[in-house]
Amino acid sequence: MQSSPSRKLVLGSTSVYRRELLARLRLPFIVAAPDVDETPLPGEAPAALARRLALAKARAVADIHPDCIVIGSDQVADLHGQPLGKPRTHDRAVAQLQAMRGQTVIFQTAVAVVCKASSFMQEDLAPVRVQFRDLGDAEIEQYLRAETPYDCAGSAKSEGLGISLLEAIDNDDPTALVGLPLIRTCRMLRAAGLNLWEQAT
């Protein structure tokens, strides 16, 4: 697609983590909150849920900013096929980490890029396999009190103290676990016609 340096970039997310990740690309962008119901559909698999919500968020914001290139993203922790979202509360975070200890969890991180004006739409999934240590109850409690990761799917911040809870991480897009797979995002932005080098500041 021909380069479109005049198109503005919008991050369709209120996540501070995604905002910080996108800022690494040194691209000028604005942030818009997507109005999307994140309730899983009956029987919906975690990967399908993440893909659907990422695209729904991008489309919702693109409806308001039709001339812009819009990024939407979503992450769902996948424990043996069961979705784990953001715990929101301490008790739910405790329950999540207790369920995940000693287990392999796949963090399904989806990203979508939409531009209504050019009829562009792409989405992709960046799964991250994470092996949790066999955590004790006291360790879980200490971690949650220290980092309060109640706005993170799976109740752990791998970019912070949460890395101490893990045995291994296996993925092909290093920032996917934090919430926005930048390799895939850059690929889609180029496909949408955004010249990353011209836009970088």
| CB proximity list for 119: less than 8 A, separation 6 or greater | none
Give the Cα separation of 133 and 102 in Å (integer). 5
Is position 67 annotated as part of the catalytic site? Answer: no
Give the Cα separation of 3 and 147 in Å (integer). 42
Residue 28 main-chain phi, psi, to 5 deg: -70, 130
Q: Does domain 9-199 have CATH number 3.90.950.10?
A: yes
Whether 177 contacts 128, CB under 8 Å: yes
Task: Encode pLDDT of 58-103 as tens digits.
Answer: 999 999 999 999 999 999 999 999 998 889 999 999 999 999 999 9
Predicted confidence (pLDDT) at residue 2 exceeds the cutoff of 50: no
DSSP state of 164: G
Predicted confidence (pLDDT) at residue 4 exceeds the cutoff of 50: no
Catalytic residue among 74, 78, 124, 173: 74
Bridge pairing between strands 69-79 and 104-115: antiparallel
User: What confidence score (pLDDT) does residue 201 get?
Assistant: 67
Whether 123 contacts 55, CB under 8 Å: yes
Task: Encode pLDDT of 27-46 as tens digits.
Answer: 999 999 999 999 999 999 99
Mean pLDDT of the chain: 94
User: What confidence score (pLDDT) does residue 199 get?
Assistant: 72
